[in-house]
Amino acid sequence: MSNLKNTITLLRIPFSIYLMPIYFFALSQTSVLSTNKSIWVFLILHVLIYPASNGYNSYMDKDTESIGGLEKPPMSTKQLYWVTLGLDIIGLCTSLLLVNTVFTGLLLVYIVMSRAYSSKLIRLKKYPILGFLTVFIFQGFWTFWMVFEGVQSGNLHFFSSFLPYAAIASSFMIGGAYPLSQIYQHKQDAESGDKSMSMLLGIKGTFYFGTVMFAIAGLLLYYYFKETTFAHFYVFVISLFPLIVWFNLWMAKTLKNRSAANFKNLMRMNNTSALCMNGCYILLTVLNHTDLFQL
């Protein structure tokens, strides 16, 4: 029973809340919402695929210190590996049967890249630039595109609109947040033989890099909303104001005292980000769909 409890813990299912903004953003930009497909895409990603990715990463890393969402992770066992494999297979089969083939193909690539990121054989995460680009592309642009194809299209019309700008902006948001998630793990990453993007940038550089990434995301969204519904850009700015304030306070505090770059402060930022961004994109979903969902 203890192994099973540890396995479930290391799947870090609650951590999916920090990955939900991309789902809700893509959902908000569809022209028609299918209730069934919206639900199935959400469940496939947040109950099956993301936990499988979290668990596989934990199995490979054998973390002994705090990781995203877990301050004191338990020890992983072989059981965790088989559970993650089972979740991925169930996710792919479900998507093929209940969503569409385009979504399933994009999902398969996402799973392969997620495994390549953590696998001891390939281990993209040990290379700062490759690891960063993997997360930048696949947790941002790719996920936005994947959700859109799953919920609405399934026919690759995504690229005949302004939607790629929103998807690229999502990558820059992820690109700003990702090195910050590594900022307290330099010692642990070094012991594992990995060199994270945050290690490459340094603590100060990580904050400056994040500032640039977030600014580029804001400019891309300004252009996107200007070409679609500009009033929604104000919703975005107002919704994210608490996050902007906290990020700058944390940066100022850390630049004075490096010990502020710790797990506790990161989780405060993650929680603020999840609340602000999920709230923003859920509101945009409501604003963009007066009927909300169509069967």
What letter represents residue 12's amino acid?
A: R
Contacts of 182-190 with CB under 8 Å at 24 or more apart are 182/206, 183/261, 183/266, 184/66, 184/261, 184/262, 184/263, 184/266, 185/65, 185/66, 185/67, 188/63, 188/64, 188/65
Q: Other C-beta atoms within 10 Å of 108: how many?
A: 15
Q: With contact defined as beta carbons under 8 Å apart, do 243 and 276 qualify? A: yes
Distance CA 244, CA 253 (A): 14
pLDDT in tens, the chain (295 residues): 567 888 888 889 888 899 999 999 999 999 888 889 999 999 999 999 999 999 998 888 776 666 666 767 788 789 999 999 999 999 999 999 999 999 999 999 999 999 999 998 999 998 999 999 999 999 999 999 999 999 987 777 889 889 999 999 999 999 999 999 989 888 777 777 778 899 999 999 999 999 999 999 999 999 999 999 999 999 999 999 999 999 999 999 999 999 998 989 999 999 999 999 999 999 999 998 865 444 3
Residue 95's H or E segment, with its range, is: helix 78-98
What letter represents residue 69's amino acid?
A: G
What's the burial of 229, exposed, middle or buried (CB within 10 Å: 0-12/13-18/19+)? Answer: middle
Q: Which two tokens stand for residue 39?
A: 């639900």
pLDDT (0 to 100) of residue 6: 85
What letter represents residue 52's amino acid?
A: A
Taking each continuous run of H as one helix and of E as one strand, the counts in the chain are: 13, 0
pLDDT (0 to 100) of residue 284: 95
pLDDT (0 to 100) of residue 152: 87
Q: Which two tokens stand for residue 212?
A: 């640039």
- Residue 129, classed as helix, strand or coil, is helix
CATH of domain 2-288: 1.10.600
Distance CA 230, CA 165 (A): 14
Nearest in space to 118 (alpha carbons), one of 67, 177, 176, 47: 67
Please name the residues in contact with 110: beta carbons below 8 A apart, sequence gap of 6 or more: 49, 138, 142, 143, 146
Q: Which two tokens stand for residue 70?
A: 């877990």
Q: What is the pTM of this model?
A: 0.93
The conformation of residue 34, written as its DSSP 8-state character, comes to B
The conformation of residue 294, written as its DSSP 8-state character, comes to B
Q: Which two tokens stand for residue 255?
A: 């630049």
